[in-house]
Structure 1
Amino acid sequence: MKKTLLTSLLLWLSIGTLQAQDSLITAQPDTTWRRSFAGGINLNQAAFSDNWKAGGISSIAFNANVDARADYKLGKTTWDNAVQLQYGMLKNKGEEQRKSIDRIFLDSKYGYAISSDWNTFVSANFLSQFTKGYEYDVDADGTDRLISNFLSPGFLTFALGAEYKPNPYFSLRLSPFAPRFTFLADDNVAVNERYGVPEGKSVRTEWLAAMVQASYNRDIFTNVNLRLNYMSYINYKELTGKRIDHLFNSVLTAKVNRYINVNLMANFIYDYDQDSDVQYNQSLGLGILYTMQGFTVN
């Protein structure tokens, strides 16, 4: 089952990429595609002498992020594709390097307009991380505990519903039918964390569920961009406040010049199957940002 679902996802994304590339190559001129790409690397460093009395520890950290979109529109038909990747490492003096942020998010949506502001749509999105994640120093002897890896967990969600999109920078998706598959591929992770996957299984299937998604992406000031994404997942069999999942992602980017930027990123997750408390991470960095708008593939 797991291999079939992964094969289907990869096939979906591969077909979409090939069709997009073919359209980009052959369209003369291209008036139906709107594309954007932003890739950045942020570096933070601090150094202290051994006799620095104010306190502190030497450290170095970096994180990289990619945010790409390819949106197609022809008449009443739309096809929107988004990729968000984040990864970072941190090294403190006297400690091994540790992961500071790790996120993979892929989203593809096919829509058909029924009015100026509303579309019907079908979509698929995938959420996971690249590499192993640990809970550090959990035991008295300093042992680290493996709690995540690629596809452990991994979430593949399909959705059918209606989308409200009154302008280019805001959208709200309402999906009364949104089956989700939770993967737990690494047996070593499964020993410590199950993420709602039943014992003895590597996939949890939630067929009867709903999903709400909202996104906002706009330049709020000159050279300052704010991007917000929210997702709520509701299993009809678990209709209580504590059992409703919430995911929130935000990125605030301020361009100093063409290549230098300051950005603030934050992720908030509430998933009772993972933890009864809210999880969050945040990073602030100065780095290099490369962006492209409306490009074509030759």
Structure 2
Amino acid sequence: MKKSAFILFFICGSILSMAQKPTRLDSIKVVPLDTVYWKRTAQFGINLNQGSFSSNWKGGGVNSVALGAFLNAKSDYMQRRFNWTSEIQLQYGMLKNQGQGARKSVDRIFLDTKVGHRLNPVWLAFGNLNFQSQFATGYRYETLTSGGERSVLISNFFAPAYLTESVGLEYKPTTYFNLQFGLGTIRQTFVTDDSISIGEPTRYGVEPGKTVRNEFAFQLIANLDKNIAENLNLKARYQLFANYATLNAIDHRLDVSLTAKINKYVNVNLTGILLYDKDQDNAIQYSQGLAIGFLYSF
């Protein structure tokens, strides 16, 4: 775990750090830092959903409350042919239905930093470092024949976690779309919780008795971040991961987010995820969420 924590600390520091030119002294006056090449954005939000019914409500229903929070931040540095882009996405939410314990509704850690050198107006050579995991334990809930329910541990912090290093070419014809061809990509899959056994689930491709799996692969990533109408933003990220040793089992992941801004502090957010990874499940996984809540941009 010390190694895992060090890796996470290193990536966070890389993403949150901001390169600055040293201050200069002009006589007795200090010249301000030069930030003309920086473009930074950040958003923090809290979403709350609640529903309640009287005991004689004929339409049926279960009292419930859900609370979630997220933080998205991005920095982009461009000077001549050099480009450095970093992004962080943190999400966590809980759901509580009457008669059940609290359960997670969303849980994600996404850290990404990329350095590029522009070859011509639309092509760049890049090096990329990406980390993905979750904050807390995840369970599969099974109904027992006796009528009760049991929870089966299937994931945890750093179980799994994915650290990906990639170099290749990037096609960036506009500011809101880019396509990355990771010709040389190495991914480490971590499972550091021994409670996750080989059968429940399949340890995400990590062999029993080990904590990490290394893969050499080709990776394709497409990013879209565009305001498609006034106060309406569409963000999508598609990732293809093809292990050179097992090209018959290609991983696919699509994340889509549609955000409508009602006013300065209130927004509606619709999200969806499609995932196919045979190391996790032989079938396609999907997740969908709709929330309204507080949003602060800075």
- The DSSP-based 3-state class of the residue aligned with 2:66 is strand
1:235 aligns with 2:243: yes
Partner of 1:195: 204
One-letter amino acid matched to 1:53: K
Question: 1:271 is matched with which residue: 274, 277, 294?
Answer: 277
Q: CA deviation at 1:5?
A: 6.4
Contact 1:138 1:145 in 2 (8 A): no
Instruction: Please state which structure has a larger fraction of its residues in helix.
Output: 1
Partner of 1:186: 193
> Which structure's relative contact order is higher, taking Cα pairs within 8 Å and 6+ residues apart?
1
Q: Distance in 1 between matches of 2:106 and 2:246?
A: 30
Question: 2:166 is matched with which residue: 159, 172, 178?
Answer: 159
Structure 1 length-normalised TM:
0.91
One-letter amino acid matched to 1:127: Q
1:129 aligns with 2:134: yes
- The DSSP-based 3-state class of the residue aligned with 2:150 is coil
One-letter amino acid matched to 2:176: Y
Contact 1:88 1:102 in 2 (8 A): yes
Q: Distance in 1 between matches of 2:188 and 2:264?
A: 41
Aligned residues: 287
Matches within 5 A, 1:90-129: 90-129=95-134
User: Larger Cα Rg: Structure 1 or Structure 2?
Assistant: 2
Contact 2:235 2:258 in 1 (8 A): yes
Matches within 5 A, 1:1-298: 3-4=2-3, 7-8=6-7, 10-15=9-14, 17-18=16-17, 20=18, 22=20, 28-140=33-145, 141-190=148-197, 192-193=200-201, 194-206=203-215, 208-240=216-248, 243-292=249-298
One-letter amino acid matched to 1:204: R
One-letter amino acid matched to 1:201: K
Q: Distance in 1 between matches of 2:21 and 2:52?
A: 50
Q: Distance in 1 between matches of 2:130 and 2:226?
A: 22
Q: CA deviation at 1:278?
A: 1.1
One-letter amino acid matched to 1:176: L
Q: Distance in 2 between matches of 1:281 and 1:171?
A: 25
Q: CA deviation at 1:7?
A: 2.7
- The DSSP-based 3-state class of the residue aligned with 2:101 is coil
Contact 1:38 1:67 in 2 (8 A): yes
Q: Deviations over 1:131-185 (max 9, x none)?
A: 0010013544411001010010000000000000011100100011110000001
One-letter amino acid matched to 2:16: T
Contact 2:142 2:151 in 1 (8 A): yes
Which structure 1 segments of 5+ residues have no match?
A: 293-298
Contact 1:89 1:101 in 2 (8 A): yes
One-letter amino acid matched to 1:203: V
Q: Percent identity?
A: 42
Contact 2:15 2:87 in 1 (8 A): no
Contact 2:93 2:105 in 1 (8 A): yes
Cα distance change on mapping 1:12 and 1:286 into 2, 3 Å: closer
Q: Distance in 1 between matches of 2:140 and 2:125?
A: 42
Q: Deviations over 1:202-260 (max 9, x none)?
A: 10111x211000100011100001110111100011111xx111111111110111001
Q: Deviations over 1:27-52 (max 9, x none)?
A: 63411110000111111111111111
Q: CA deviation at 1:13?
A: 3.8
One-letter amino acid matched to 1:146: L
Contact 1:78 1:111 in 2 (8 A): yes
- The DSSP-based 3-state class of the residue aligned with 1:10 is helix
